[in-house]
Structure 1
Amino acid sequence: MNDALAADLSLIRDAAREAGEIAMRHFRNDPDVWMKEGASPVSAADIAVDTFLRRTLSAARPDYGWLSEETVDTPERLGARRTFVVDPIDGTRAFIQGRRTWCVSIAVVEAGAPLAGVLECPAKGEFYEAQGDGPALLNGAPIAVAPTHADPRVAGPKAMLQQAPSWMRGGPEIPYIPSLAYRIAMVASGALDATFVKPNSHDWDLAAADLILRRAGGGLVERDGAAPAYAGANPRHGALAAGSGRLLTEMRTVIAGLDGDHGGRTEAGGGETASRHGFKT
């Protein structure tokens, strides 16, 4: 095990657990809520967790970049060799509604790839983690993707599922899962077989969960079959598929055939705003 990565994983593990405790103090306790750009809600808990994580992680690794959903993005992070990619609360709508399906997501990214990642899901009592050269763990026990079922359990937006072949839609209908990171973690643990991801997800939704899924034997892919790259100038992504084996191969065919309205990052163009907070390339 790489000692530096093990130290990073230990750092983000401890920070995520404390961040989860901060979030739980607000959970089902009527936190202040307001709307931000794009008509997306943010709560006092999101800001409290973001503030704690940025202070704690940046103090421990001052040379690392910082990319978070709740921090205004700046190009200075692009000069860092490694970057913390953070979603203080992934699944804010669920959090606000008092539903348990939300998590604190933290990844360490280098050269576009996540090297360590954790998902702290305190309301569900679940903690996912992975390092680039180790197993994916749930509450300390190894997890793995499920073998493909004859009637696979595939989650995702209905508009994308409707484009899938009938055999892929033969399994049970999956209720909406508001946290994308948690939904991908469910694929990693075998609770789901796969999920489609609609365009406009962001690095902070994906990076930690992506690594956990890969170390569990699955993959998250773009329409060309490539793995997403993280912590670049543009944190937005196009349509994605998460799964394993033949099912993932077939899902990639589905997203590759989506029309321009479901396009990927490459269709956004070089002048697209790099972040809904931030700078232009």
Structure 2
Amino acid sequence: MPDADSLPSADAALLAETARAAGALALGFFQRDPQVFTKADASPVTEADLAVDRFVAEALRPARPGYGWLSEEGKDDDERLARRRVFVVDPIDGTRAFIAGKPDWTISLAVVEDGRPFAAALYCPVTDEMFVAERGGGARLDDTPLAVRTDASLVGCRLAAPSGFSRAASVKAAGIETVGFVHSLAYRLALVAAGRIDAAAASSRACDWDIAAADLIVHEAGGRLSNLDGEPVRYNRRDVSHPPLVAAGGRLHGELTALFAAFSRDDAPLPT
């Protein structure tokens, strides 16, 4: 009989509990002019990101000492590559929204096992929405099971994507409707799982911590997140960055990956 801590439900519960507490901590800084710093890649990070990162590490690492660790705001090393299971953490996904006082930022926590998500929790503190998924156990928003839309096609498809997608000729020609920009990529993907939109896209700047939790949520809701070749995302590699990605359900996923792949082959870079 497996140890309880090896079950996805145990890890999912731990992640959800930690995400909710981390969200409460982050709200203590929200709309209160938090101190902002600039990272080496010129992206912003706030004192709230750093405080949440410390809190999450102190909650998760002692609870699962055998797991590796990868966080956007932590120091990375090769030690995690030798671990079968790894925590993948984005303390605040959507930092620019957080700085601007907008609601679309999240706490994104996942456990990756053998390169694929095993358990996930994604929490939006402002709206008090908790998305949780476990491998083989489905995805839910609070107590409501999630399911992607499977009847959508390109014409009239509601797509959440970086702003440049709405200006792409191929997107306009296909009759796709782009919806308002969502700062948190993880939340953007979770909206697909919830059936609130039909599809979501990410540019080539996404990293493991941006997408690991949402990937499992989309998958367990019956959808797919993949690169433009239709291949699933692999995690806990030395290089944690990924090429452009598409999330959708049903035949729409294949139609969108084909459309964006053709767009890319025409020597026009995918918009960011």
TM-score (normalised: structure 1): 0.88
Cα separation, partners in 2 of 1:262 and 1:132, compared to 1, 3 Å:
farther
Deviations 1:227-267 (A, max 9, x none): 0001111100011111111211011112323147758xxxx
Match of 2:140 in 1: 137
Cα separation, partners in 2 of 1:241 and 1:134, compared to 1, 3 Å:
same
Amino acid at match of 1:106: L
The yes-or-no answer on 1:93 pairing with 2:99 is no
Q: Distance in 2 between matches of 1:52 and 1:84?
A: 14
User: What is the percent sequence identity of the aligned residues?
Assistant: 43
Structure 1 residue 159, shift from structure 2 partner: 3.7
Q: Distance in 2 between matches of 1:254 and 1:193?
A: 15
Cα separation, partners in 2 of 1:170 and 1:11, compared to 1, 3 Å:
closer
Q: Distance in 1 between matches of 2:171 and 2:125?
A: 36
The yes-or-no answer on 1:116 pairing with 2:116 is no
Q: What is the root-mean-square deviation in Å for CA atoms of aligned residues?
A: 1.7
Of residues 163, 185, 190 in structure 1, which corresponds to 2:195? 190
Match of 1:8 in 2: 11
Match of 2:223 in 1: 218
Match of 1:80 in 2: 83
Q: Secondary structure of the equivalent of 1:47?
A: helix
Q: Distance in 1 between matches of 2:8 and 2:174?
A: 38
Query: Does the Cα contact within 8 Å between 2:159 and 2:176 map onto a contact in 1?
Result: no
Match of 1:268 in 2: none
Cα separation, partners in 2 of 1:56 and 1:109, compared to 1, 3 Å:
same
Query: Does the Cα contact within 8 Å between 1:163 and 1:254 map onto a contact in 2?
Result: no
Query: Does the Cα contact within 8 Å between 1:199 and 1:262 map onto a contact in 2?
Result: no
Q: Secondary structure of the equivalent of 2:65?
A: coil
Query: Does the Cα contact within 8 Å between 1:195 and 1:243 map onto a contact in 2?
Result: yes
Consecutive aligned runs of 4 or more in structure 1 exceeding 6 Å deviation: none
Query: Does the Cα contact within 8 Å between 1:154 and 1:168 map onto a contact in 2?
Result: no
Q: Secondary structure of the equivalent of 1:169?
A: coil
Query: Does the Cα contact within 8 Å between 1:198 and 1:262 map onto a contact in 2?
Result: no
Match of 2:161 in 1: 156
Amino acid at match of 1:169: G
The yes-or-no answer on 1:53 pairing with 2:56 is yes
Query: Does the Cα contact within 8 Å between 2:163 and 2:181 map onto a contact in 1?
Result: no
Q: Secondary structure of the equivalent of 2:104?
A: coil
Q: Distance in 2 between matches of 1:170 and 1:9?
A: 35
Structure 1 residue 170, shift from structure 2 partner: 3.9
Q: How many residues align?
A: 261
Match of 1:200 in 2: 205
Query: Does the Cα contact within 8 Å between 2:80 and 2:86 map onto a contact in 1?
Result: yes
Match of 2:239 in 1: 234
Of residues 57, 66, 70 in structure 2, which corresponds to 1:63? 66
Deviations 1:65-94 (A, max 9, x none): 000100011111111110000000000000
Match of 1:128 in 2: 131
TM-score (normalised: structure 2): 0.91
Q: Distance in 1 between matches of 2:256 and 2:17?
A: 36
Q: Distance in 2 between matches of 1:59 and 1:115?
A: 19
Match of 1:25 in 2: 28
Amino acid at match of 1:207: A
Q: Distance in 2 between matches of 1:61 and 1:170?
A: 44
Where does structure 2 lack aligned partners over 5 or more consecutive residues?
none
Amino acid at match of 1:28: Q
Q: Distance in 1 between matches of 2:175 and 2:55?
A: 42
Deviations 1:10-32 (A, max 9, x none): 11111111111110111111111
